[in-house]
């Protein structure tokens, strides 16, 4: 039985795994009237990932871009149980989820298994390393809030160590070399933020070493931002050139050592590039729990890239399981836009499921009454048929936006049937207003606006916690 306070035994149990873009937009739109809802995620908050690169250099403070999951669930009509825990196993045959408290502080209960009637699977992805040696040990990632904090600490450590009395010239060059691997939007936006930090703040605070800072972006393909249009790629690459960000394309990282990356260039030549800070942004791969779930459904789950779902986001091969976001393998890119639209769509599917269950119950009761009005039965059947009819998920692309540093942003907007690449105040304003308007709450908006104002007035804080 569902281990849940206030659970109504007449209602089905809906378990939601995750608190990211997919799960949060689902929860926000979900009508909890018809289900006992349980949310399980190792993170007790939602993270606004598009602004994460800004946290790495202190343009934004970490807490400005997160919102507790309970902020959403506590306003729901019926109680929603939220557990800070990591789902360890999904059994699609027994319809159970096993989850574990993985935090530092533990009580008597650490491992729990619950039954579900419906499961919304939205656990996202983990960082792709392609099994390259040394990545996990020596590189920083840029996916979670803790990653951005780690990057911020490491940058300052490199700079302070470079400025240390008697530091050798060779070590200063290494420590002040910030290398980013992966020229997708994450790598590009991070390189842009780092450049701003150098120009706006480092020159003021660390004049003795600031000029030695170098940023290198390494990309295996012939250009950065492969998913953007040619014009926007050129604009980004020329902006990076102006900003003295070295872009090494057709260059593949083969090995990561403690102080240098080993790369192979277009001529198949192997060389070492020394670094102080290494940020690894080469995309996504499935989490272990997702691979385990695929392993239980091998007949139909045949894509290593992610889970296969039908047009209604129902997981192939499993009854009552739905999947959204980065953990799925669909024709859409793994983006926040897709995950949040899928979450909203899925909430509408559950609304219909709730209606359908109610109508089925009504119909059973009506049919059991000898004096029931046949017209009423017929009307209920019609309503039931309507509730049972679902329209497939349809993605509406609102455009792609990326900040590339020095107050320049690029935008791929379907509205203008083309691309807008622009710099200066207008682009910056557009980028900022687009993100501020999609932030989760008034609290987040206020905090982000205040952080931007603080940085403009006082500059970024270079102290190390």
* Rounded least distance, CB 415 to ligand FAD, Å: 16
Q: Which is nearer to ligand FAD, 212 or 291 (by Cβ)?
A: 291
The option from ligand FAD, ligand NAD, none interacting with 339 (CB < 5 to 8 A, set by class) reads ligand FAD
192 binds, among ligand NAD, ligand FAD, none (CB under 5 to 8 A by kind): none
Tell me if 414 contacts ligand NAD by CB under 6 A. Answer: no
SS (HEC) of the chain: CCCCCCCCCCCCEEEEECCCHHHHHHHHHCCHHHCEEEEEECCCEEECHHHHHHHCCCCCCHHHHEEEHHHHHCCCCCCEEEEECEEEEEECCCCEEEEECCCCCCCCCCEEEEECCEEEECCCCEECCCCCCCHHHHCECCCCHHHHHHHHHHHHHHHHHHCCCCCCHHHHHHHCEEEEECCCHHHHHHHHHHHHHHHHHHHHHCCCCHHHCEEEEECCCCCCCCCCCHHHHHHHHHHHHHCCEEEECCCEEEEECCCEEEEECCCCCEEEEECCEEEECCCEECCHHHHHHHHHCCCCCCCCCCECECCCCEECCCCCEEECHHHECCCCCCCHHHHHHHHHHHHHHHHHHHHHHHHHHHHHHHHHCCCCCHHHHHHHHHHHHHHHCCCCCCCCCCCEEEEEECCEEEEEEHHHCEEEEEEHHHHHHHHHHHHHHHCCCHHHHHHHHHHHHHHHHHCCCCCCC
The answer to whether residue 19 forms part of the interface with ligand FAD (CB under 6 A) is yes
DSSP lists the bridge partners of residue 405 as 408
Binding range to ligand FAD, per CB under 6 A, among 119-127, 293-301, 312-320, 457-465: 119-127
Q: Does 42 bind ligand FAD (CB under 6 A)?
A: yes
Sole binder of ligand FAD in the list 66, 114, 119, 122 (CB under 6 A): 122
Q: How far apart are CA 226 and CA 80, in angstroms?
A: 41
Q: Which is nearer to ligand NAD, 85 or 220 (CB)?
A: 220
Taking CB under 6 A as the rule, does residue 236 contact ligand NAD?
no
Residues 254-273 that bind ligand FAD (CB under 6 A): none
Spatial separation of the C-alpha atoms in residues 278 and 272, rounded to whole Å: 13
Q: Which is nearer to ligand FAD, 218 or 338 (CB)?
A: 338
Closer residue to ligand FAD (CB): 380 or 444: 444
- Candidates 16-24, 148-156, 398-406, 431-439; binding stretch for ligand NAD (CB under 6 A): 398-406
Does 354 engage in binding with ligand NAD (CB under 6 A)? Answer: no
- The correct pick among 334, 343, 354, 405 for binding ligand NAD (CB under 6 A) is 334
Q: Which is nearer to ligand FAD, 122 or 158 (CB)?
A: 122
Tokens read off for 326: 């980065």
By CB under 6 A, residue 354 contacts ligand FAD: no
| Residue 50 binds ligand FAD (CB under 6 A) | yes
Which of ligand FAD, ligand NAD, none does 283 bind, CB closer than 5 to 8 A by kind?
ligand NAD
Q: Which is nearer to ligand FAD, 13 or 380 (CB)?
A: 13
Q: Segment 182-211, which members bind ligand NAD (CB under 6 A)?
A: 182-187, 189
Interface positions, 271-330, toward ligand NAD (CB under 6 A) = 281-284
Residue 221 binds which entry of ligand FAD, ligand NAD, none, CB below 5-8 Å type-dependent = ligand NAD
Rank residues 338 and 359 by Cβ distance to ligand NAD and give the closer one: 338
User: What values do phi and psi take at 44, rounded to 5?
Assistant: -90, 25
Site string for ligand NAD, 8-47 (x = CB under 6 A): ----------------------------------------
| Residue whose CB is less far from ligand NAD, 37 or 253 | 253
Angle at 54 between CA 49 and CA 58, to 5 degrees: 130
8 Å CB contact between 35 and 350: yes
Interface residue list for ligand FAD (CB under 6 A): 17-23, 40-43, 49-50, 52-53, 86-87, 122-124, 142-143, 186, 287, 289, 325-327, 334-337, 339
Which residues of this chain interact with ligand NAD, rule CB under 6 A? 50, 130, 181-187, 189, 218-221, 226-227, 252-253, 281-284, 333-335, 400-402
């Amino acid at each position: 039985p569902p281990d849940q306070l206030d659970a109504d035994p007449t209602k089905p149990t809906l378990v939601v795994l995750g608190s990211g873009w997919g799960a949060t937009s689902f929860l926000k739109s979900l009508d909890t009237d018809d289900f006992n809802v349980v949310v399980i995620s190792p993170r007790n908050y939602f993270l606004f990932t598009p602004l994460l690169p800004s946290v790495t250099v202190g343009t934004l403070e970490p807490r400005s871009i997160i919102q507790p999951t309970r902020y959403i669930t506590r306003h729901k009509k019926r109680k929603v149980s939220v557990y800070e825990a990591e789902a360890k196993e999904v059994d699609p045959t027994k319809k159970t989820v096993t989850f574990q408290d993985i935090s530092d502080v533990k009580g008597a209960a650490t491992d729990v298994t619950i039954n579900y009637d419906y499961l919304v699977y939205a656990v996202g992805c983990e960082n792709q390393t392609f099994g390259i040696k040394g990545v996990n040990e020596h590189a920083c990632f840029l996916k979670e809030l803790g990653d951005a904090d780690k990057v911020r600490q490491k940058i300052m450590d490199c700079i302070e160590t470079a400025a240390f009395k008697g530091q050798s010239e060779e070590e200063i060059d290494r420590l002040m070399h910030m290398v980013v691997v992966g020229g997708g939007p994450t790598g590009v936006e991070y390189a842009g933020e780092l450049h701003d930090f150098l120009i706006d703040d480092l020159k003021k605070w660390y004049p003795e070493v600031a000029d030695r800072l170098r940023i290198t972006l390494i990309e295996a393909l012939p250009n950065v931002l492969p998913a953007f249009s040619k014009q926007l790629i050129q604009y980004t690459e020329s902006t990076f050139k102006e900003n003295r960000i070295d872009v090494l394309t057709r260059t593949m990282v083969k090995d990561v050592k403690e102080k240098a990356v080993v790369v192979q260039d277009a001529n198949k030549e192997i060389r070492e590039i020394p670094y102080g800070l290494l940020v690894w942004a080469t995309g996504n791969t499935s989490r272990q729990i997702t691979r385990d779930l695929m392993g239980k459904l091998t007949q139909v789950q045949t894509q290593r890239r992610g889970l296969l779902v039908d047009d209604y986001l129902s997981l192939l091969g499993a009854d009552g399981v739905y999947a959204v976001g980065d953990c799925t393998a669909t024709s859409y890119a793994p983006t926040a836009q897709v995950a949040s639209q899928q979450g909203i769509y899925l909430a509408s599917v559950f609304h219909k499921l709730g209606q359908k269950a109610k109508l089925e119950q009504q119909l059973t009761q009506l049919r059991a009454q000898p004096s029931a009005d046949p017209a009423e039965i017929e009307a209920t059947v019609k309503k039931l048929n309507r509730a049972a009819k679902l329209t497939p998920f349809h993605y509406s692309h609102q455009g792609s936006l990326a900040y590339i540093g020095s107050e320049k942003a690029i935008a791929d907007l379907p509205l203008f049937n083309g691309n807008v690449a622009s710099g200066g105040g207008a682009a910056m304003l557009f980028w900022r207003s687009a993100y501020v308007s999609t932030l989760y709450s008034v609290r987040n908006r206020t905090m982000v606006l205040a952080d931007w104002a603080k940085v403009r007035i006082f500059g970024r804080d270079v102290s190390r916690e």
